[in-house]
Amino acid sequence: MSSRPACLAEAIEEFLSYQQGVRCLSANTLAGYGNDLGKLAAFLDGQRPLDSITKEDLRYCMGELTMQGAAASSVNRFVAAVRSLFAYCRRFDYIQKDPALEIHTVKQPKQLPKFMTASEVQELCTAPEKNSLLWEARDKALFQMFYSSGCRVAEMAGLTLEDFSQDFSSAMVRGKGGKDRRVFFTPTASTALKEYLPQRQQKLLRFGNDGASQPVRALFLNNHGGALTTRGIRYILSRYSGVEGTNNPVSPHAFRHTFATALLSNGADVRMVQEMLGHSSISTTQRYTHITTAQLVKTYNQAHPHGGTERQTPSVACDDGNSGD
């Protein structure tokens, strides 16, 4: 920081540089900060002096976002970005008082993570074999690895062969905040990966990438022999889960939700699941503890002294229009 920023726009630019160069935040996180703080500069005029911005100004920005139809989650993300910016400015004495300390997030409805049932996962993971839409071996391996590891889409796109153990049963991934963790793959996923690898090599040879000065290191390739991007992965999943496939559209993150739900439903400790997902906060992992009524009754019967195997799962009325996950 060679000089004090003269206005809001300069403070935002310096803040983003700090997050990238010092904190090493991911490109997606930086893009999110940039988008939200760009809105702040647009609402208040980027040339405005930092010390002239008040809590009323920030509340005005929140109101503008709401008037534009922004969801509560979007407004709250904006608030988080603004708080981070002004906390940074206060830390380096660019301002004497932090106006963001007096703004609050808005209440938003709790939404349980969308996850797939066992049959839905099976249907999706076998879709590449049943529907010759894109690249069967690659897509089968991709889906199986998503489900068995709980990886984020960016983590999956970033995998290279060097990240894997010798038997392909685990790999090191780089998660949010540059944190490394080991993820694991079932024998089914490892087998699917091994079946894909010879085709991957053929694709590299076909497009001349194998002997290039900077060969493609990504595990998953596109049809032109280049690295498969997060956007490409989303496209692949949209094809197989759309009307051409299962007709049950899901995002890559649904695999992660399903992975967490399956582990917790089968008795895994929530802190172990936290480690496997790479969550920094246990509260994030606890969102997945939406265990079904049948599982709760089973646990009760096994654990309570007066529980009994004859106890039946109670029927649940679903006529209030609010039964979905």
What burial class does residue 219 get, using C-beta atoms within 10 Å of its C-beta: 0-12 exposed, 13-18 middle, 19+ buried?
buried
Residue 112 DSSP symbol? P
> What is the rounded end-to-end Cα distance, in angstroms, of the chain?
48
Beta bridge partners of 66: none
What sections of the chain are H helices per DSSP?
8-21, 27-44, 55-67, 72-91, 118-125, 127-130, 136-149, 153-157, 187-206, 230-241, 252-265, 270-277, 282-285, 293-303
The catalytically annotated residue of 152, 200, 203, 257 is 152
Q: How far apart are CA 289 and CA 297, in angstroms?
A: 15
234 is catalytic: no
18 is catalytic: no
256 is catalytic: yes
The catalytically annotated residue of 48, 234, 253, 298 is 253
Tell me the CB-side half-sphere exposure of residue 123, using CA atoms within 13 A.
Answer: 15
288 is catalytic: yes
The catalytically annotated residue of 48, 83, 174, 176 is 176
217 is catalytic: no
Query: Helix, strand, or coil here: 221?
Result: strand
279 is catalytic: yes
CB 143 within 8 A of CB 255: yes
The set of catalytic residues is: 152, 176, 253, 256, 279, 288
